[in-house]
Structure 1
Amino acid sequence: SQEVITKDNVNLTVDAVIYFKVMDPFRVMYNVAMFEDAISKLAQTNLRNIIGDMNLDQILASRDKMNLELRKTLDEITDRWGVRVTRVEIQDVQPPQDIVDAMSRQMKAERTKRAAVLEAEAVKQADILKAEGKKAAAILGAEGEAKSIETVAEAERKKKMLISEGEAKAIEQVFNAIHDGRPTKDILMIKYLEALEKMADGKATKIFMPVETSGMLSGAAALGEMLRGEGPAGLLGTTTQKKEEKKKEE
């Protein structure tokens, strides 16, 4: 391990492992004395240079990148010695305790902040879902009410149509019956008086007569006297007399 200083002036203790392979023993023996120590010193020097160009956060987040860069640098130098550096592993990066404590507090604060943000986002989403639910319920309620009003209106319209069709049918049937039966003026006069009686009690709203009322009105008085039996030729009197004679015969 060795002590190094980062770009942002943090003292670190770094442990690294160098894996190498002797490719040319002759060059190793005649080009460098105690090549293992030479490789170790070379690794420490280059590691110090690499870490000195990086701040603490970069070092903690880029360990793999540092391994590759250090291996490439060492391999280029040791190749002249007949040695190949196959792998470099930075195993431990240890900041001072005060930095560790500060980082711990920072991480805790970051987690707390993140939790608060997530909680606020959850509340926001819940409120949005509630609002959307209320909106959807209101829309469905309005659509249901509109559908109900439409159904009632349609039923009322059909009811009026059926009533109108029934009245028209009844009028047509009455007209056809009167027309086909060829009624006499006396029968029409009786029906007319019955209609007047219905009009008098306030229940009748529509009266349809297929004859002119002027002719009927001229004979209404005479027909009324006939029905009431006022006079010797009264219709009611004659009818009563015939009934009494029939009883005597029996």
Structure 2
Amino acid sequence: MGTVVGTIFAVLIIVLLLWMILHTVIIINESQGEVGLKMRLGKYVETLSPGWHFVIPIIYSVIKVDTRQKPLNIKEQSLITRDNATVLATEQLKYHVTDAVEYELKNSNAEQSMIQDVQSSLRSIIGGMKLNDVLEGSGKINERLANDLNDTTARYGTQVDNIAISGLKPDPEIEKAMNQQAAAERQREAAIMKSQGEKQAAQNQADGKAYSLRKTADAEAYTTRQNADAKAYQKIQEAKATAEANNTVINAFANNGFTNDNYISLKQIQAYRDIANSSANTVVVPQKEVNTATKTAEAIKIAKTDNTFFEHLKNSITQNNQNDNSSNNK
């Protein structure tokens, strides 16, 4: 019996020694970013740096605090914009402990306090913005949110390293309406593009027709000018030929002792002869031309019976032309 009691007592002594050793030697691990808060009967005494530390068990205790950066996920939150639209937001926060005493001893739950501050700040920011600005301005929202949290989280002994809105989307009903609106906008833009394309095609076709008409008109105008120039040239040449012929006849008359008045009379006789040779049976002559009409009648009679006068005149003109050519050759 005594042996059993002795054994139990020995075991208890060993356990007590081990417990005392474990609670006497405290290792603060620097690689794990730890700092130690030394407590005496529940009251803070000092902060222990990384390394080995010896404390008296029961009287002293050490609280280890991890100062490494840690993530903090915040559950999805429903928010109302300034234009009364509902959006859903999910945030992700990264922070680290800067003051172990503030973090561990002066706050019962620093993480939960930060979550509440993030949600409150985000609610205030989103509530002052319109839906379109919210959906397009996540970067600005993150920046404003980080500035707000740096001021409020300092009292928790923490510092926010990064905060990002990992999910920001409108309420499903609003998203459906936005998708319908976007589809309608795309259809409207497509209709506008089609209309502009048709308008441009019609304009190009009209320009092509106008260009063709202008070219056709230019060609016709050019042809008309060419024809007019040709006719004018022909008339000029005919007038020159007539003038030369008249000069030849006048010279022939002069060489045979006739005057210009005789030439004019001859031309009248020729005209009357042409009338006589025509199919007309009646000729209307003014009163003052009675003498001329008499000559006309004689000319008609002569023209219809004898052409020797004109043959003689023709021979005289031919002879004069030959004489002129001989003089020019000499």
Q: Using structure 2 for the length normalisation, give the TM-score.
A: 0.46
- The equivalent of 1:101 in structure 2 is 176
Inter-partner Cα distance in structure 1 for 2:207 and 2:157: 73
1:80 and 1:93 map into 2 onto residues whose CA distance is 29
Q: Percent identity?
A: 27
1:63, distance to aligned residue in structure 2 (A): 1.9
Conserved? CA contact 1:15–1:90, under 8 Å: yes
Q: Residue 84 of structure 2: SS of its match in structure 1?
A: coil
Shift of the alpha carbon at 1:50?
0.8
Partner of 2:100: 29
Residue 146 (structure 1) aligned with residue 221 (structure 2)? yes
Residues paired across the two proteins, number: 197
Q: Report the 3-state secondary structure (helix = DSSP H, G, I; strand = E; otherwise coil) of the residue aligned with 1:94.
A: strand
Distance (whole Å) between structure 2 residues aligned to residue 117 and residue 141 of structure 1: 36
Counterpart secondary structure, 1:103: helix
Map 1:216-227 onto structure 2 (within 5 A). Answer: none
Structure 2: gaps (5+ residues): 1-74, 258-265, 276-307, 309-330
Indicate conservation of the 8 Å contact 2:93/2:160, yes or no: yes
47-56 or 82-91, larger mean C-alpha shift = 82-91
Matched, 1:4 2:78: yes
**Structure with greater proportional strand content:** 2
Question: After the TM superposition, which residues 207-246 of structure 1 pair with which residues of structure 2 at under 5 Å, given as runs?
Answer: none
1:91 equivalenced with 2:166 (yes/no): yes
TM alignment of 1:142-181, pairs within 5 A? 142-169=217-244
Greater CA deviation, 95-104 or 167-176? 167-176
Equivalent of 2:138 in 51, 58, 63: 63
Q: Bigger relative contact order, structure 1 or 2, given CA contacts below 8 A and separation 6+?
A: 1
- Whether 1:121 aligns to 2:196 is yes
- More helix per residue: 1
SS in 2 for 1:72: helix
Give how far 1:116 is off: 1.9
Deviation at 1:153, TM superposition (A): 0.9
8 Å CA contact 2:101–2:157 kept in 1: the answer is no
Larger gyration radius, structure 1 or structure 2: 2
**In structure 1, distance between residues paired with 2:211 and 2:239:** 41
Deviation per CA, 1:90-122: give whole Å up to 9, x if none: 221133332222222222222222222222222
Contact 1:2/1:44, CA 8 A, preserved across alignment: no
Contact 1:4 1:13 in 2 (8 A): yes
Structure 1 unaligned segments of length 5 or more: list them: 186-192, 203-226, 228-250
Asked if structure 2 preserves the Cα contact closer than 8 Å seen for 1:67 and 1:89, the reply is yes
Q: Which residue of 2 aligns with 1:17?
A: 92
Deviation at 1:3, TM superposition (A): 1.6
Quick one: which of 139, 147, 150 aligns to 1:75? 150
Classify 1:20/1:141 alpha carbon distance in 2 versus 1 (closer, same or farther; 3 Å): farther
CA distance in 1 between partners of 2:256 and 2:250 (Å): 15
Compute the TM-score of the two structures, normalised by the length of structure 1: 0.58
Aligned counterparts of 1:71 and 1:132: Cα–Cα separation in 2: 62
Q: Deviations over 1:128-182 (max 9, x none)?
A: 3333333333333333322221221112112222333344455567777x69xx9
Whole-angstrom distance in 1 between the partners of 2:274 and 2:84 = 114
Shift of residue 127, structure 1, vs aligned partner? 2.5
Distance 1:167 1:59, change over 3 A: same
CA distance in 1, matches of 2:84, 2:271: 116
User: Offset of 1:49 from its aligned partner?
Assistant: 1.1
Assess if the C-alpha contact under 8 Å between 1:17 and 1:89 holds in 2.
Answer: yes
